[in-house]
Structure 1
Amino acid sequence: MELRKIIQALRERVPAFGERVSGAAEFRPLPEVGKLSLPCAYVIPLHDETGEQKSQTDYWQECTDGFSVVVALDNRAGELGLESVDDAVHIVRRWLWRALLGWSPAENYTFGIEYRGGVLLDMNRAILYYKFDFQATFEIGPEDTWHQQELGSLPWLETVHIDVDLIDPGAGPDGHPEFQADIHLSPPEST
């Protein structure tokens, strides 16, 4: 999944972050990591899982892309106008749901983004880090495979030659074709 689209969507759709949404290949809640002002969010890759191959003659497989939104909240009471940081987590979750659920970041995603759950990552007296997990599913088809690329590089099949060897009842084919045919194929017209 192209996480830059998720980052951009959160910047546009969650005004409370004040565009303080960033990407991170690996999130670490450490003081050395460059932090954005609070509240803020980091979008990180989560998983890439596939189902079984569904076709015996072609390529057809479902793939689920996952990502997390790690939110850093001010853990001091009253900073968001709330008495409890628990309320803030639920409010932020609602913001994320309204910004992401059901949205398809690309046309090949079949059902749009779904929510998987959340978990507390870390907390100190100043900052609370909470991770919200999301996923979206798409299908891997023949156009995504090397086999399709290989087939596309083959020359056009121009002629099919057919030999027909009739079966003699009780004896089978004799190895001498009684009929022959050549079928000439025209390439499809390019559009």
Structure 2
Amino acid sequence: MKITPILTQLRDHCPGLANQVAVGVDLALLQSNTALPTPSAHVTPLADLASPSTGQNATRQAIRDRFVITLVLDASDGRQALEQLESLRAELWRALVGFKPGADYNPIEYDGGELVSLSATRLFYQLRFFAEFQLGRNLASQPAETWRERELDGLPSFTGVTVRVDAIDPADPNLKHPGPDGRLELTFSGDVTQ
């Protein structure tokens, strides 16, 4: 999932963060950075989970893209930090739950949260979210998403068929074994029109 729509959504709809929204790559790095503004939110892609394909002759996999938002709060006043945490969690839910981060994605859902660390000066709290999309296209007119779809797109178009029938019955009495005698009893063709 692209991270820019998430960042934009948080900046536009979370006034309690005062535009202090960034990409957070590593939790240990965030925790060691004493210059981080508070409050601030740091968005980090977490993982993607794939379910088995539901298609029999095509790929149809649900992919769950997960990401985490780490809130960094000033914890010098513990009561105030916990109050602010509750307010910011509610803002994040209002901004993200139900938001579609891309045309191919289902709306974002909340996956839980937890306190990561609490010291005399900083509180770190992580909230996990996810959005799902389907790997494998629905229509042949859509761009290929898998190798099999790309391979099928490279085949020539189906324009028609010719069928030649050599029937087994009635059997030719001149042959020792009944079966096709090599003479065509029926031939027909069909053209595909679009």
Task: Quickly name the TM-score band, shorter chain normalised.
Answer: 0.7 to 0.9
Supply the distance in 1 between the matched residues of 2:35 and 2:47 (Cα, whole angstroms).
24
Residues 149 and 34 (structure 1 numbering): CA distance in 2 closer, same or farther, change over 3 Å? farther
Supply the distance in 1 between the matched residues of 2:151 and 2:34 (Cα, whole angstroms).
45
1:1-191 to structure 2, matched below 5 A, reads 1-28=1-28, 29-31=30-32, 33=33, 35-77=35-77, 83-110=79-106, 112-142=107-137, 143-168=144-169, 171-186=178-193, 188=194
Residues 89 and 173 (structure 1 numbering): CA distance in 2 closer, same or farther, change over 3 Å? farther
- The answer to whether the 8 Å contact 1:27/1:42 transfers is no
Supply the distance in 2 between the matched residues of 1:169 and 1:24 (Cα, whole angstroms).
78
Counterpart residue identity of residue 62, structure 1: A
Supply the distance in 1 between the matched residues of 2:126 and 2:181 (Cα, whole angstroms).
73
Deviation at 1:2, TM superposition (A): 0.8
Match of 2:140 in 1: none
Deviation at 1:157, TM superposition (A): 3.1
- The answer to whether the 8 Å contact 1:66/1:135 transfers is yes
Counterpart residue identity of residue 184, structure 1: D
Residues 175 and 71 (structure 1 numbering): CA distance in 2 closer, same or farther, change over 3 Å? farther
Supply the distance in 2 between the matched residues of 1:37 and 1:85 (Cα, whole angstroms).
14
Secondary structure of 1:129's counterpart equals strand
Counterpart residue identity of residue 87, structure 1: E
Q: Unmatched 5+ residue regions in structure 1?
A: none
Superposed CA RMSD: 2.2
Larger Rg: 2
Deviation at 1:140, TM superposition (A): 1.3
Between the aligned residues of both structures, percent identity stands at: 32
Supply the distance in 2 between the matched residues of 1:169 and 1:122 (Cα, whole angstroms).
86
Supply the distance in 1 between the matched residues of 2:159 and 2:36 (Cα, whole angstroms).
63
Deviation at 1:127, TM superposition (A): 0.9
How many positions carry a matched residue from both structures?
181
Supply the distance in 2 between the matched residues of 1:124 and 1:166 (Cα, whole angstroms).
86
Supply the distance in 1 between the matched residues of 2:72 and 2:182 (Cα, whole angstroms).
79
Which TM-score applies when normalising by structure 1?
Answer: 0.84
- The answer to whether the 8 Å contact 2:16/2:88 transfers is no
Q: Unmatched 5+ residue regions in structure 2?
A: 138-143, 172-177
